[in-house]
Amino acid sequence: MKKRNVGLSFWVLLAAIVLYLNYSQATKVSDEEISYDKFRILLDAGKIISVEIVKDETIKGSYRSDGKSVNFKTPYLDDKDLIKDMQTAGVSYAGKTGGKWLTNLLFSFGPILLFILAWFIFATKMSGGSKQIFSFGKSRAQNAVKVETTFADVAGCDEVKDELVEVIAFLKNPEKFQKLGGRIPKGVILYGEPGTGKTLLARAIAGEAKVPFFTSSGSEFVEMFVGVGASRVRDLFQMAKSQAPAVIFVDEIDAVGRHRGAGIGGGHDEREQTLNQLLVGMDGFDPNTNVIVIAATNRPDILDPALLRPGRFDRHIHIPKPNIKEREDILKVHAKKIKMEENIDLEIIARRTPGFVGSDLANIINEAALLAARKNKESVEMIDLEEAIDRVLAGPEKKSRVMRESEKKIICYHESGHALVAKLMPDGDTVHKVSIIPRGPALGYTLQLPLEDRFIASKDELINKIKTLLGGRSAEKIVFKQFSTGASNDLEKATEIAHSMVTQYGMSSRVGPAVFKDSQDSVFLGMDISKGSRVSEKMKQVIDEEIRNIIMKAERDAESVIIRNRKYLDVIAGELEKRETLTANDLDNIMKGKELAPLPKPMPKAENKTEDAETGQDSTGGVAKTADAGKDIGEKSSGEETDEQKETA
């Protein structure tokens, strides 16, 4: 049974009892001691009001005096006529009952007993299991003693694992490092984009380490009561030091470690007190030579500099997105738990998922298993994995959405324009699939996949992406002599890429090699808002002109490509209208002038209610996840590209 924390409760109850007794003594009226003879005189005079004989030793009661009631007591004598005389005088008589000691006891201590009972009922209700009342200052961290995850369950991140294995080795055998004069690192911070495996690595450390491993999160330190956060930090470090060597893991440390003094009106005092205590705990006047702090965050840029300096978080380890080989390894780890066909090639799936992180890949495996189970299959097949990727990239199929023939034709030419321009751009990404099957909010999409992972992008590559984005709009202009709303997201992405080229990447001769980007950092994320705009009005006009020139030239080039290859555009659009989906092999055969395989016999389709598509709303879809230059940069939409990506230099 867990030991009940009653320290504060005991002293509160003791104080309540003392106050009650003092009050009882202060308000208690003293009984007047009279002789037995006087008692008999008062009785004969009819002034006795009530009498109570206590244990045959004392007579207590009250009598009238000047219109008032006075309590008295007198010794009890063996008077045989006493009871008869009291009955004759009509005196209220309690008899030889031995006194109302039980009643007196209840009246004296009953309120205290009720107070104690109410107190413990309240404490039990507020305790919440292990959280005792008034234990707000205690750390919520727990010793992770039953973690079964090891580094064998973490695919990829080999360099990161080497760093962490060294930290564990120091804890297990510090003499190996100290004999050369080295000291144990005080802290290791893991940072990277969401889903890259920071918390999974922490669980693996807990599983590998044979030392106490205390886990907590940044949000658990700060409560509504002032001083609670700092108290919990102190308690956490005391727990770790008492069992040293030990490891403390703090997940999402940015909840408590943000830059001090940031924002309008100063910082949050309670959060800053908590941060100050954390700084002292990691490297204060009392050094913790055998406690290592490991933290994880998605936002290292908003952490306080004092937290990141050597002596506190000595090592900053970036958890990058996995490359193609690491994605294949991650897929293999998650596939161990799923029953799959033997002919499944996970390398193909890894190649189809550039820019995906570990959580995305785990989701794909799970979605494939759900799809196979929905179809009553015995095992997961390759087609299920392909379908799972499409669901993640573009959303579920909207089989009930029936489009008008005129809309379907526009979408076919729009997607064909994307695909044709993408196929003919030099050094462009491979067009993996073109589809007009509605998925999620999108009425169609074109998916491009890079042949290999890319980390930078050249000016020509960015311009080619803009041309591909504008290929659908250009096809509509050439074929239908007008535009539709389906290109709105294409224009948004094209403008975004062109803006980055001009303002961030220095790819404009007029603007030059300089960055002209106003800070958009939020004041609540710990950023300084005192800096004014670094872009003059004249420069803003030049930037706008350069962005417009890039987009207009790219559109003219896209139109020129489509006009020169109009015959391929018509064939692709025609086949897309009949088949609804074209693969990379289908596009290659069309460009080579080959006939495509005949369509299978169509299955009968149920009539569905046609959705109103003439609302004037944007018919484009959301962002599909593909990668280029280490970013999630795909686009999918009605008449929009799913491969266009948000570039970074």
261: in domain? yes
Q: What CATH number corresponds to the domain at position 197?
A: 3.40.50.300
Percent of the chain scoring above 90 in pLDDT: 13
More confident residue, 619 or 320: 320
* Angle 275-194-643 from CA coordinates, rounded to 5°: 145
Q: Are residues 201 and 284 in the same domain?
A: yes
Largest pairwise CA distance in the chain:
138
Q: How confident is the model at residue 138 (pLDDT cuts 50, 70, 90)?
A: low
pLDDT score for 531: 52
User: Residue 586 falls within a domain, yes or no?
Assistant: yes
pLDDT at 464 over 80: yes
Q: How confident is the model at residue 634 (pLDDT cuts 50, 70, 90)?
A: very low
Q: End of a domain among 65, 99, 133?
A: 99
- At 67, which CATH number? 3.30.720.210
Tell me how far apart the alpha carbons of residues 103 and 261 are, in angstroms, rounded to a whole number. Answer: 63
Tokens standing for residue 614: 């003439």
- Produce one character per residue of 67-76: b if its CB has 16 or more CB atoms within 10 Å, e if not: eeebebbbeb
Question: Among the three residues 266, 299, 318, which one is the final residue of a domain in this structure?
Answer: 318
Asked if 31 contacts 73 with a C-beta cutoff of 8 angstroms, the reply is yes
pLDDT at 566: 92
How far is residue 466's CA from residue 461's CA, in Å, rounded to a whole number? 9
Say if residue 196's pLDDT is above 90.
Answer: no
Indicate if the pLDDT at residue 22 is higher than 70: no
Which range of 162-171, 197-206, 429-438, 541-550 scores highest in mean pLDDT? It is 541-550
Query: Quick check: 463 pLDDT over 60?
Result: yes
Alpha carbons within 13 angstroms on the beta-carbon side of residue 529 total 13
Q: Specify the higher pLDDT residue, 640 or 468.
A: 468
1 falls within a domain: no
> Residue 377: which CATH number?
1.10.8.60
> Residues 69, 169: one domain?
no
Instruction: Identify the pLDDT of residue 86.
Output: 79
Q: How confident is the model at residue 69 (pLDDT cuts 50, 70, 90)?
A: confident
Contact (CB, 8 A) for 202 and 215: yes
Question: Which of 274-288, 290-304, 356-370, 501-515 has the lowest average pLDDT?
Answer: 274-288
Full strand arrangement of the beta sheet holding 315-318 = 142-143, 213-217, 246-251, 291-297, 187-191, 315-318
Please give the average per-residue pLDDT across 562-574, as a whole number. 91
Of the candidate ranges 376-380, 401-405, 438-442, 607-611, the one whose mean pLDDT is the lowest? 607-611
Any domain includes 631: yes
Q: Give the pLDDT mean for 329-338.
A: 88
Q: How confident is the model at residue 30 (pLDDT cuts 50, 70, 90)?
A: low
User: How confident is the model at residue 10, as a pLDDT?
Assistant: 62
Please tell me whether residues 339 and 449 are part of one structural domain: no
- Whether 621 shows a pLDDT value over 50: the answer reads no
Domain contains 297: yes
Segments forming the whole domain that contains residue 331: 324-392
- Residue with the larger pLDDT of the pair 116 and 391: 391
Are residues 528 and 474 both part of a single domain?
yes
Instruction: Return the active site residues.
Output: 415
Quick check: is 613 in a domain? yes
pLDDT digits (tens, 9 = 90+) for 515-527: 887 555 444 444 4
Q: Quick one: 154 and 256 in the same domain? A: yes
**Rounded to 5 degrees, what are φ and ψ at 137?**
-80, -5
β partners of residue 61 = 51, 72
Res. 480: pLDDT tops 50? yes
Whether residue 311 sits in one domain with residue 338: no
Reply yes or no on whether the pLDDT at 283 is more than 90.
Answer: no
Q: What is the pLDDT of residue 647?
A: 33
- If asked whether residues 582 and 525 sit together in one domain, one would say yes
pLDDT higher than threshold 80 for residue 442: no
**pLDDT reported for residue 215:** 81
Lowest mean pLDDT: which of 153-157, 339-343, 482-486?
153-157
Domain count, the chain: 4
Q: Please answer whether residues 237 and 291 qualify as being in contact, where contact means their C-beta atoms are separated by less than 8 angstroms.
A: yes
Answer with the residue of higher pLDDT: 607 or 375.
Answer: 375
CA distances from 399 to 300, 542, 576, 607 (A): 44, 47, 17, 11
pLDDT of residue 630: 34
* Span 362-372, pLDDT tens digits: 999 999 999 99
Asked whether residue 515 is assigned to any structural domain, the reply reads: yes
pLDDT band at residue 144 under the 50/70/90 scheme:
low
The pLDDT of residue 558? 93
Please check whether residues 477 and 552 belong to one and the same domain.
yes
Do residues 440 and 358 both lie within one domain?
no
223 and 272, same domain (yes or no): yes
Are both 460 and 591 inside the same structural domain? yes
Mean pLDDT over 62-90 rounds to 78
pLDDT band at 418 (very low <50, low <70, confident <90, very high): very high
**DSSP output for 359-415:** HHHHHHHHHHHHHHHHTT-SSB-HHHHHHHHHHHHH-SB-TT-B--HHHHHHHHHHH
Q: How confident is the model at residue 616 (pLDDT cuts 50, 70, 90)?
A: very low
Last residue of a domain, one of 368, 392, 416: 392
Per-residue pLDDT band for 156 (boundaries 50, 70, 90) equals confident
Q: What is the mean pLDDT of residues 478-493?
A: 89
**What's the rounded mean pLDDT across residues 467-474?**
92
Does the structure show a pLDDT above 60 at 637? no
Band (624; pLDDT cuts 50, 70, 90) = very low
Q: What are phi and psi of 309, to 5 degrees?
A: -75, 160
- Cis (ω within 30 of 0) for the bond into 600? no
Q: What was the pLDDT predicted at 336?
A: 87
State the pLDDT at residue 345: 85
219 vs 129, residue with greater confidence: 219
- The answer to whether the beta carbons of residues 329 and 222 sit under 8 Å apart is no
DSSP sequence for 370-383 = HHHHHTT-SSB-HH
pLDDT digit string, tens, across residues 78-113:
777 777 777 777 777 766 544 455 555 566 666 677
Q: What is the mean pLDDT of residues 56-70?
A: 77
Q: State the pLDDT at residue 533.
A: 61
Mean pLDDT score, 374-389: 88
pLDDT greater at residue 264 or residue 21: 21
Mean pLDDT of 50-72: 77
**Mean pLDDT (whole number) for 25-42:** 71
Please indicate, yes or no, whether residues 514 and 431 belong to a single structural domain of this protein: yes
Closest C-alpha to 141, from 313, 278, 319, 283: 278
Instruction: Please report the pLDDT score of residue 477 as a whole number.
Output: 92
Residue 495 has a pLDDT of: 94
pLDDT digits (tens, 9 = 90+) for 248-281: 888 888 878 777 765 544 445 667 777 777 787 7
Higher-scoring residue by pLDDT: 647, 262: 262
Q: What is the DSSP string of 413-473?
A: HHHHHHHHHHHHSTTPPEEEEEE-S-BTTBS-EEEEE-SS--S---HHHHHHHHHHHHHHH
Residues pairing with 13 in the sheet: none
Q: Which residue has the higher pLDDT, 486 or 632?
A: 486
- Residue tagged 């693996």 (tokens): 204
Within a domain: 130: no
According to DSSP, the residues that pair with 69 across neighbouring strands are 64
pLDDT at 129: 44
First-to-last CA distance in the chain?
59
Mean pLDDT value across residues 113-134:
58
Arithmetic mean of pLDDT, 195-216: 82
